[in-house]
Structure 1
Amino acid sequence: MLGNHSAASSLKQTFPRDALASLVVFLVALPLCMGIAIASGMPPAKGLVTGIIGGLIVGFLAGSPLQVSGPAAGLAVLVFELVNQHGMKALGPVLVLAGIIQLAAGFARLGAWFRVTSPAVVYGMLAGIGILIVLSQVHVMLDASPQASGLSNLVGFPGAAVQAAGEWGGQEGSGAYAALLGIATIAIMWLWEKKRPQALRFLPGALIAVTAATVASLWMGLNVNRVNVPDNLGDAIDWVTFADLGMLANPTLFMAAVAMAFIASAETLLSAAAVDRMHQGPRSQFNRELSAQGVGNLLCGIVGALPMTGVIVRSSANVQAGAKTRASAILHGLWLLGFVAALPFVLKQIPIASLAGVLVYTGVKLASPAALQGLKQYGRTPIAIYAVTALTIVFTDLLTGVLLGFALSVATLAYKSSRLKITLVYDKDDETQAELRMIGAATFLKVPKLTQVLESIKPGTTLHVPLDRVSYIDHACMELLTDWERTHQASGMKLLIEPRALKRRLEGCHHNAASLGSGPSTSAASPV
């Protein structure tokens, strides 16, 4: 009884804050769900379905209680490419497989490993995605259709702008009027972010801007493209069939599912970690969060909706609005469902150009060079990886850019791990004593350089090899040292290595250092 009373008391304290926060998140999510769907080349209702599942289902299961899930701009580019090349029918099977991969990864407790991602690659990926969103959505702001690639959108924009400008004052639809609404949306969002009254901070700029653009377009009677949503949300559901799942036999679609699972997981868990830094409440359980996302994407695939991730924009709005428990995320899904079910005619009045303006603003923030400030402190290499990742995504595709970024990160790590500075120093008072100083990792990659130094040692020298500044020495380098001693014993040369230091730094350190090499001086070495 006492436990039930305590739970009821806690709910009474937190529910008002969660309810208010859920309304704020709902207002943020509503335009973004539709805008991201349009940017993905999908009907707006598909994004709303994903938002509803992200709230009602994933919100209940989530391992990060204050994180809010839904369609994310980070996957819009991947979905657009997939739909453009293979048709909308291919998205369901790909998303089903991606969800299964995430679910399996969560059960296998791989959540932490999905976070092992170089920040330079992550920021470069977000920048590349942001640039692609801007390049595609500026066409949508003109009531035109975006092209299949970022380069095509860039090259085609001047012509589209000239055509839209020539339609000013036309009666059969005007790209110029649509552009005006999109620009006005961006301007209002920027002004609201900079100048909004303190008492109205809970109202999201995207909602204010889209509402203003919608009212203005209706008042002026502008003939622009508007959102098309079904009167019955059930009409937006396209159930995936077993025959559809057979499409996964296509290696391209299979790899698209793997890429979608990885990118969605990395974005979700990085967002969850960021949300943890925003509040003092319960910390995220990354494996549970990964499994919850897998369930969500599996369900989205079954009903033919958009993929989802944990979204930092909605999540930060949730925390800033004072959310205390997962009830806020769940309720925001309920508000989405109720609004779409009861007021679809309101959504149909929204100009598509205004939603495109929201996405352009979002894309610019994703591609903001502010991330470079954090990378600068680590040198030029992370900045180069950031730039290469972003530009490769823009000029090729998302998967190629991310893979190249990872490859560069691994190559950089391998290069730094294999660096070794070798110096031979003779004792000034006794030239029969020398010290082989090494700084870094002594691996097989440095055998040629080490060989060259050893061959230059004078006959009769006792060689001391301190390992205090060696992070690691492998079997190849150790064999080289012991072989050198065996070969030059007749010339009076000796090799002295401290056994304890060797045991700590040599691969297979559980073996006794005395067993490594046949020379008597190595096995009975004195400390240097």
Structure 2
Amino acid sequence: MLRHDLPASLVVFLVAVPLSLGISVASGAPLAAGLVAAVVGGIVAGALGGSVVQVSGPAAGLSLVVAELVQVYGWRATCMITLMAGVLQLLLGMFRVARAALAVSPAVVHGMLAGVGIVIALAQLHIVLGGQPQRSALENLIELPEQIINNHAHGVAAGVLTILVLLVWTRLPKLKVVPAPLAALVIASLTAVALGWDITKVDLTGGFGSTAGPLWPKGDWHAIVGAVVLVAVLAGVESLLTCVAADRMHDGPRADLDRELTAQGAANLISGTLGGLPISGVVVRTTTNVRAGARSRWSAVLHGMWVLLATLAFASIIGLIPLEALAALLLFIGVKMVNLGNAKDLSGHGEMPIYFVTMGAVVVIGLAEGIVIGLGLAAIIALRRLTWVSVEVQQHAGRWRIAVTGSLTFLGVPRLSEALRTIPTGAPVDLDLHVDFMDHAAFETLHAWRLEHERTGGTVDIDELHDDWYSAAASGTRVYPAKSPPQLDRWYLPWAYRRGAADPVSEDLLTGTREYHRRTAPLVQPLLTRLARKQTPSHLFITCADSRIVPSLITASGPGDLFTVRNIGNLVPRYGSAPLDDSVAAAVEYGVKVLGVRTITVCGHSGCGAMVALLGEAPELPSVQRWLRHGRQSLARFVAESPGEQIGPLDRLCRTNVLQQLDNLRTYPMVEGLERAGELELTAMYFDFETARVHVLSEEEPLSPVPELRTG
């Protein structure tokens, strides 16, 4: 293990020293406090933690909290708050509540870190320009123009040089062995010494001896308790989220979150006692550790020991670092914390407003207030989703159908009432309740409407797909006290995915039939009863016999929609062709003349075995070989066409074959006549198994996606 962990620890050490110093500057704490936290975080949290690769230390995300605590209570009282936060984390870890921290919305966490990043960047920009940061982000923004006009040239030069090195260093592959933060500070320091710049240098006089022990904070005890909880929760959540992220980066043992929270508590207790900053798991150092090849917790422990030795032995060298360079490093880190990639990831889940509202509130109002506002917005959005309800009203063949889906609570009563008012008096109604919860207000509204509708001559047939919320309430039976999960079967899964390992394959068909009788038949029976006398499909659907093609699945169709023909290769023999085969011709004739379909669709698919055979790999199956003679026109067309896309010959033939079948259909006089008259439409579709996407084929557009459904 050490042959991997030793070099990894050195890489993390080189990253940790400049970051720890910079975070001390941003926090308004003694510079040595960041190094103390790095040592304790590496050795204590690394040895005791629940993750084998996570690296802990001072975190930029906590610097805003610490800076405010230092201003209000002083540094030594802040150390006591850190100590007490560690005790609280220890207790939470002992009671095994770590996973509860994962209930915090990631949108709030990312938004908080982005807001902290902006505040850090604005504050450190003033130090780079030779001034002093103001008390708030808005004040820093207002003072910025004057600060730019009256800047100190040497300090600005050191800061700009640091940022340039940080930007360029990662783009030079051969130099990536040396971490960019270390390279930037070394180059800025050497340049400042060589050119004799007038800069502010890091003061590490006394090394670890410059730190002081904790003192009890003076002030309102409510505020002190709040500060302890805030530090403990923020540091704990950041550590646990980093722990979860670290598990995705390596293949070693999975993290024990309760053990990790306990270790963070012990580390913060010791760090506060020794005069160090609050500690949490840090994404940057953890990622660096994994990428450097760490295999065990020894890498984190050794990195802490290297920080300890470097501070004891090289404090004077560290003292050459320009303070403006450290501020520039923090400015760079602050900007990087505003990760718009996280916002983009959240947009697909509708959580982007939480991210930006939290970020804005942290910048404008404050950290604690911003977190509370973000959590409140997240709770409101979650409540809205949990109480979402859809009410659809349809009318067909004299019957009305109302489909209610979701959680039917008092919040959905206005929408439900509006839909119920559209039902004419005396009409027959099918009411489908696909609800996982129904409260009393919703039941009262629905029940009162039903009684009134039936009193005026109407009928209401109620079908409950999930739990019997309505019938239980109507009969006076005890209603379930909590929301129940929908019992949705993954009916589209193959038998092999649903049966037990010991179940025989021979039983699949009977087992599936029994499952249909138990779950599906009661739901579709009213519909099939109405369809029993006559079928009126709108489409003739010709597709391959391939077992992976499920027409009703890829078209979201139901009983009575598709008149389906399946054969090997989705072939349509030309009119009067030999060998004679009336199967497809009979289906076309019956579908067009008797059923009156308005559309004939030929649907092919990727990797078709029939097309493989046409390309020269025909199996020794006489009947199959005779049938595939109907594909000769497809093969001839394929050979005559020049490939216009960078696709393989098999996929090109599969698509060409579908288009050829439309031409084969047009050889039937009745089809040609109806198409010319505009009474029949021929379409070509293509299903790609790998992407599970359906495409529309045409002569002009060989492969185009099905247009998205537009709503509104």
Considering the TM-score relative to the shorter chain, is it more than 0.5?
yes
Q: State the match for 2:377 in structure 1.
A: 408
Q: State the match for 2:227 in structure 1.
A: 256
Q: What SS is found at the alignment partner of 2:404?
A: strand
**Contact map agreement 1:467 1:502 (CA 8 A) in 2:** no
Of the three residues 467, 470, 488, the one matched with 1:502 is 467
CA distance in 2, matches of 1:85, 1:156: 23
Deviations 1:124-172 (A, max 9, x none): 21211111111011112133321111111111122223222xxxxxxxx
Q: State the match for 2:416 in structure 1.
A: 450
Deviations 1:204-255 (A, max 9, x none): 111111111111212222231111113241331x2224xx06x475322322
Q: Which structure's residues are more often strand, by fraction?
A: 2
Of the three residues 470, 474, 486, the one matched with 1:517 is 474
Distance 1:106 1:264, change over 3 A: same
Q: Which structure's residues are more often helix, by fraction?
A: 1
Of the three residues 256, 259, 263, the one matched with 1:292 is 263
Deviation at 1:487, TM superposition (A): 5.6
**Contact map agreement 1:181 1:353 (CA 8 A) in 2:** yes
**Contact map agreement 2:436 2:466 (CA 8 A) in 1:** no
1:242-281 to 2 correspondences below 5 Å: 244=216, 247=218, 249-281=220-252
Deviations 1:81-102 (A, max 9, x none): 2212332233123222322332
CA distance in 1, matches of 2:392, 2:339: 45
Deviation at 1:458, TM superposition (A): 4.6
**Do structure 1's residue 91 and structure 2's residue 68 form an aligned pair?**
no
Deviation at 1:515, TM superposition (A): 4.0
Of the three residues 131, 149, 159, the one matched with 2:146 is 159
Of the three residues 460, 480, 485, the one matched with 2:445 is 480
**Contact map agreement 1:24 1:321 (CA 8 A) in 2:** yes
Distance 1:487 1:222, change over 3 A: same
Q: State the match for 2:401 in structure 1.
A: 435
Deviation at 1:485, TM superposition (A): 4.1
Quick check: 37-46 or 115-124, which moved more? Answer: 115-124
CA distance in 2, matches of 1:398, 1:196: 38
Distance 1:448 1:124, change over 3 A: same
Of the three residues 67, 89, 93, the one matched with 1:106 is 93
1:327-476 to 2 correspondences below 5 Å: 327-378=298-349, 381-426=350-395, 428-429=397-398, 434-454=400-420, 457-461=423-427, 463-468=429-434, 470-476=435-441
**Do structure 1's residue 122 and structure 2's residue 109 form an aligned pair?**
yes
Give 5+ residue unaligned stretches, structure 2: 478-521, 527-712
Deviations 1:152-197 (A, max 9, x none): 1111122223222xxxxxxxxxx32111111101111111111140
* Matched residue type, 1:36: I
* Matched residue type, 2:162: T
CA distance in 1, matches of 2:201, 2:458: 87
Give 5+ residue unaligned stretches, structure 1: 1-13, 165-174, 507-512, 521-525
Deviations 1:58-116 (A, max 9, x none): 11011111010000110111111221233223312322232233222222222222122
CA distance in 2, matches of 1:184, 1:466: 68
Structure (1 or 2) with the larger CA radius of gyration: 2
**Contact map agreement 1:259 1:399 (CA 8 A) in 2:** yes
Distance 1:456 1:313, change over 3 A: closer
Deviation at 1:418, TM superposition (A): 2.6
Deviation at 1:459, TM superposition (A): 4.8
**Do structure 1's residue 208 and structure 2's residue 183 form an aligned pair?**
yes
Quick check: 439-448 or 37-46, which moved more? Answer: 439-448
Give the structure-1-normalised TM-score: 0.85
Quick check: 152-161 or 280-289, which moved more? Answer: 152-161
**Contact map agreement 1:104 1:291 (CA 8 A) in 2:** yes
Q: What SS is found at the alignment partner of 2:335?
A: helix
**Contact map agreement 1:45 1:230 (CA 8 A) in 2:** no
Deviations 1:487-510 (A, max 9, x none): 66544555543466333xx4xxxx
Quick check: 456-465 or 150-159, which moved more? Answer: 456-465
Distance 1:141 1:436, change over 3 A: same
Tell me how large the CA RMSD over aligned residues is.
2.4
Q: State the match for 2:486 in structure 1.
A: none
CA distance in 1, matches of 2:355, 2:207: 44
1:145-184 to 2 correspondences below 5 Å: 145-164=132-151, 175-184=152-161
**Do structure 1's residue 219 and structure 2's residue 206 form an aligned pair?**
no
Q: State the match for 1:41 in structure 2.
A: 28
Q: State the match for 2:213 in structure 1.
A: 239
With a CA cutoff of 8 Å and minimum separation of 6, indicate the structure with the bigger relative contact order. 1
CA distance in 2, matches of 1:409, 1:514: 34
CA distance in 1, matches of 2:260, 2:275: 22
Q: State the match for 2:123 in structure 1.
A: 136
Deviations 1:265-320 (A, max 9, x none): 22212211222221111111111111111111122222332111101111111111
CA distance in 1, matches of 2:269, 2:237: 17
* Matched residue type, 2:166: M
Deviation at 1:372, TM superposition (A): 3.1
Distance 1:519 1:179, change over 3 A: closer
Deviation at 1:438, TM superposition (A): 1.2
Q: What SS is found at the alignment partner of 1:465?
A: strand
**Contact map agreement 2:93 2:262 (CA 8 A) in 1:** yes
Q: How many positions carry a matched residue from both structures?
A: 480
Give the structure-2-normalised TM-score: 0.64
Deviation at 1:120, TM superposition (A): 2.5
Quick check: 222-231 or 330-339, which moved more? Answer: 222-231
The percent identity for this pair of structures is 36
Q: What SS is found at the alignment partner of 1:360?
A: helix
**Contact map agreement 2:121 2:335 (CA 8 A) in 1:** yes
Distance 1:344 1:450, change over 3 A: same
Q: What SS is found at the alignment partner of 1:109?
A: coil
**Contact map agreement 2:392 2:404 (CA 8 A) in 1:** yes
Q: State the match for 2:171 in structure 1.
A: 194
* Matched residue type, 2:214: V
CA distance in 2, matches of 1:161, 1:210: 23
Q: State the match for 1:229 in structure 2.
A: 204
Q: What SS is found at the alignment partner of 1:305?
A: coil
CA distance in 1, matches of 2:473, 2:436: 18
